[in-house]
Chains A and B, each alone.
Chain A
Amino acid sequence: MKNYLIFLYKVWRVSFQGSWQFYTWMAFLSILSLIGLNAYSHQLVDGLQTTGMTNQVSWGAYIANFTFLVGVAAAAVMLVIPAYVYKMHHMHRVVLFGELMAIAVIIMCLLFVMVDLGHPERFHHLLPPWGKLNFPGSILAWDVIVLNGYLLLNMHICGYLLYCYYREKKPTWLFYIPFVFVAIIWAVSIHTVTAFLYVGLAGRPYWNHPIVAPRFLASAFTAGPALLIVTFQVIRKFTNYWIGDEPIFTLRRVITIAMIINVFLLGCEIFAEFYPGTVHQAAANYLYFGLHGHNGLVPWIWTAIALDVIGLTILLTPWSHRISGLNTACIVCFVGIWIEKGMGLIIPGFVPSPLGEIVEYLPSVNETLVCLGIWSFGILVYSWMLHVAIPIMNGNLKKTSSST
């Protein structure tokens, strides 16, 4: 226990030690987070009228970002599976970075849900025995369980491994390998359950579509690893932790395959929406071409599709074997998927409304600031975790070393 407290103290000290770049970066993120917190305080006082949401479009940017980020969190398995299932040696050097990212991203997801609530202070209504969790009836109850479970699993795995490295002890198999394998299945479940949130609603034909869940996974396994590829290079550049090219190019293969599947499934979806010509295609019409003169999402979705196609094209050409090409592809795919799976999935579910009303949605300034704040806070948390984890993984922060 005492040793653990000393460990925490050292972690605390290391958290505030760094280069001027580190300080600048963290200060920058802190300021943005505070701006977001300020915007959220306004929302808490005035209610959700500070957002662009309406009775017709009752979910907006918060839930869109939430949906996208659940995928990014799930994508940590794309490091875990090569490392632990296929026993790819080189992936073990980086697998922890994926799990840490999952922690940071799940925190962002939970924040996005919290800020979407009309009564966040009643959060305990979800927690039995005091609360009443409508399980197994409500898919949202499932989502609460799987998201928090995934957070705990990853916190355990990362915390345990880092503490072992710190003590220079070999991790005990039993204390983490079973959790790693549970986390693999769990990762798939968080994204599937989140997809089922939408798929389970018979009154929204745009969502009530079996392909949503597989497409969620395919796009997640593109966006998540894309972010990791960029992160690895940041770590390589700014820290002394060595990451070779192999993990990066293993992930390149993952995102290429995932992106092919994603674009293929997108094609399937477009076919099913448009070929039969039923009234249920109204939402897709609105998204892709505009409906009765309302076309708020049209530029967005075509941007997303263009980015998806450009990203996939780069991934299929030799340019993606070079870091510059790969980075371009990663950023392009990440943004493309953020649009199509965020706004492109959530908003058309509400337009037209079940009674045929067309009310367009645009996030308000305050809402956008809250989103910005949560993104910054998530990146802040991830940066901090990397900043602490890397010296431990490098062996620079260990039990035997003295710290003042």
Chain B
Amino acid sequence: MQRETPPAKDIDAMSDTPEKLKRPKTVEEAIKPMDRRSFLKGAAASVVGMSGLVAALQPLLKLERGEITLDGLLQKHYKELSPKRMQTILRKLEEECKERYGVLPSIRDLKPAEGIGFAYALNLSRCVGCRKCAHACMAENNQHRDTPDDINMSYIRVLELAKGSINLETSNHYYDPKEVPQKDKYYMPVQCHQCRESPCTKACPVEATWQDDDGIIVIDYNWCIGCRYCMAACPYDARRFNYEKPKIPNEAINPNQGYLSNRPRPKGVVEICTFCLQRTRAGKYPACMEVCPTGARVFGNILDPDSEINYILQNKRVYVLKEDVGTQPRFYYYFD
């Protein structure tokens, strides 16, 4: 039976069903008391369905043990961890690193110091494009690599540009001449600019990445959900994502590690250059600066008026990459 036709003015109800429509079989006629036959049919269908489901989920058996743990799921955001809890987590991460890579690291949770604001300047007149910085970055920061020479995950990309313009679109990331620098080229290493107005931290939906007081942008790898919105937001292509569980040869593991920086990452999280905070917050220079053979890199405390970095920013011809996007980087280029 059709339902009773409501008054014509009632526009909210189902009305104007034409009478010509044949009286349908009602649901009651369709739902008969379950007989043996339909019960068996239903049971058979359920069995087929369930086995299909189980078969579909089969690959989950290969999930590594310890990859998803209750402890991990319950871990709080970095800023809410008590010092004691942090120590437990650090020891556990050290154990995990030992188990996986055979190296027992020292993982520290180094906090930013008072009165320090880091900044980096790179002399484009001096850079010769040797890519030693990109390789040193890999050696320091425990990134994934497919082969020992693979620098795809390095936080530094060195661009080869034709003299006469700074058009990134014509840059070559994969230059491979017999020797550098090539006569008609110049070179521009790009890494995280640690922007003061950072689009990446603004984009993160879960506050898994933020800027610390010394200006370094960090990521809590145990909080990142891996949505990669920060990567879309970054104007400098500085962020890398762990599409797979990082492969690092045991002998290449750097045991001096930071919780917010170079400890081996889980798969499925984003990572970036942290100005090597495991070094710089302990009073050392970043790995890329230390290795630079031409002295093109200058790193220091911008809040210290006598620092070299301050001298450069005040006296050299300084160039900010993509100044128009308003990110106010802590990374500067300059020319002699």
Contacts and interface: CB of A to CB of B under 8 A. Distances in A.
Contacts of B53: 34, 37
Contact of A139 (B11, B14, B18, B203): B203
A403 B322 contact: no
B28 interface: yes
A353 interface: yes
B237 interface: yes
Interface stretch (A41-49, A98-106, A148-156, A211-219): A41-49
Given A132-B206, A138-B202, A47 B268 contact: yes
A385 to B, nearest CB: 16
User: Dominant SS at the B interface?
Assistant: loop
B152 interface: yes
Contact of B62 (A45, A59, A93, A394): A45
Nearest to A177: B12
Nearest to B226: A118
Interface in A30-65: 30-31, 34-35, 37-38, 41-42, 44-49, 51, 53-56, 58-59
Interface string B196-225: 000100111111100000000000000111
Interface in A77-135: 87, 89-90, 92-93, 113, 116-126, 131-134
B169 interface: yes
A123 B243 contact: no
Chain B interface size range: 35 or more
A125 B30 contact: no
Given A121-B68, A201-B199, A394-B2, A49 B244 contact: yes
A13 B33 CA distance: 11
B21 A240 contact: yes
A315 B334 CA distance: 58
A397 B27 contact: yes
A134 B204 CA distance: 7
Contacts of A119: 224-226, 266, 268-269
A235 to B, nearest CB: 13
A349 interface: yes
Contacts of A89: 11, 15-16
B199 A38 contact: no
Contacts of B17: 242
Interface stretch (B102-110, B227-235, B302-310): B227-235
A25 B72 CA distance: 41
B311 interface: no
B24 interface: yes
Given A46-B244, A140-B203, A165-B3, A30 B49 contact: yes
A21 interface: no
B57 A138 contact: no
A204 B237 CA distance: 11
Contact of A117 (B22, B152, B226): B226
Contacts of B301: none
Nearest to A123: B225
Interface of B: 1-4, 6, 10-18, 21-22, 24, 26-28, 30-34, 42, 49, 52-53, 55-60, 62-63, 68, 73, 77, 152-153, 157, 159, 167-171, 173, 190, 199, 202-208, 223-229, 231-237, 239-245, 266-270, 322, 325-327
4 closest A-B pairs by beta carbon, nearest first, are: A118-B226, A395-B3, A118-B268, A203-B235
26 contacts: A14-B30, A17-B30, A31-B52, A34-B55, A47-B244, A48-B244, A58-B228, A59-B228, A92-B15, A116-B228, A117-B227, A118-B268, A119-B269, A125-B77, A141-B205, A198-B232, A204-B232, A242-B18, A279-B167, A349-B232, A355-B237, A356-B171, A393-B14, A394-B2, A395-B14, A404-B34
Interface of A: 10, 13-14, 16-17, 30-31, 34-35, 37-38, 41-42, 44-49, 51, 53-56, 58-59, 87, 89-90, 92-93, 113, 116-126, 131-134, 137-141, 144, 165, 168, 170-171, 197-198, 201-204, 240, 242, 244, 279, 282, 349-350, 352-357, 391, 393-398, 401-404
